[in-house]
Amino acid sequence: MAARLGPAAGARVAVTGGAGGIGRALVAALLGEGCGVAVLDLPAVLAAHPPAGGALPLPCDATDEAGVGAAFASLRDRWGGLDGLVTLAGFAGPKLAAGETSLALWTEVTEGNLAATFLACRAALPLLRAGKDPAVVTMASGLAAKPAPGYAPYAAAKAGVLALTRALAAENAPWLRVNAVAPSAVETAFLRGGTHAGGADAPRFDTDAYSRSVPLGRLATPEDVVGPILFLLGPAAAYVTGQTLHVNGGLLMP
């Protein structure tokens, strides 16, 4: 009998940044698989994009240590444990050369991606320990492996996410699997700065020129990223940990 490609029905999965473009598609897919889903995101984002029916909204700032801790404590009281965690929270910020990037912007972007991933994973570990065949999927980026001009803070933060992913996989084996998904550009509000911040001020992304550079000839859709996440959460990936799954239409072939 073929292994199930997504998490088991009834699995309890927390998704940070779950009210964003990829997050909404993932939450809908998880609910469709019969999973219990908690959506952790900023209060304003949750208000603008309420989670699909059946998902549990938990307002929190992914960079706030106390807030993240309180959100996962609430999950522990409600569910007792977790079977999966997906860390989608993050944003790129404005496009600037490294030499023109202020320390404040560098700190905001690295905290919004790397620190946010660390805080969620650390807070979730005790709940995952109480789960069944638990797995974590972090969100990286192809820019972690091949930085593009203007995205130094984001590329550095996502490279840090990959290192953190491997460290967590090594430290928590064999009871926990931890893997990363690294997409290229995805057709969401993220291309205009992200659901988090900066969308109105971010420079226009030239989707036509970018698509011409991709061997498969188009941008990724949220659904293109959801499938790999579901795979890494589920039993078909039972022997996969510490890995990075690139989802980029052939743009990067490491």
The residues, ordered by sequence, that sit 6+ positions from 57 with a Cβ below 8 Å of its Cβ are 19, 38, 39, 41, 46, 50, 51
The residues, ordered by sequence, that sit 6+ positions from 119 with a Cβ below 8 Å of its Cβ are 62, 63, 65, 68
SS3 38: strand
Q: Which residues pair with 212 in a beta bridge?
A: none
Residue of 151, 154, 210, 239 marked catalytic: 154
Task: With beta carbons less than 8 A apart as the criterion, state whether 23 and 197 touch.
Answer: no
- Whether 154 sits among the annotated catalytic residues: the reply is yes
**In the chain, where do the E strands start and end?**
12-16, 36-41, 56-59, 84-87, 135-139, 177-183, 244-247
Distance (Å, rounded) from C-alpha 155 to C-alpha 147? Answer: 6
Q: Is the dihedral of CA 243, 18, 67, 72 positive or negative?
A: negative
- The residues assigned a catalytic role are 154
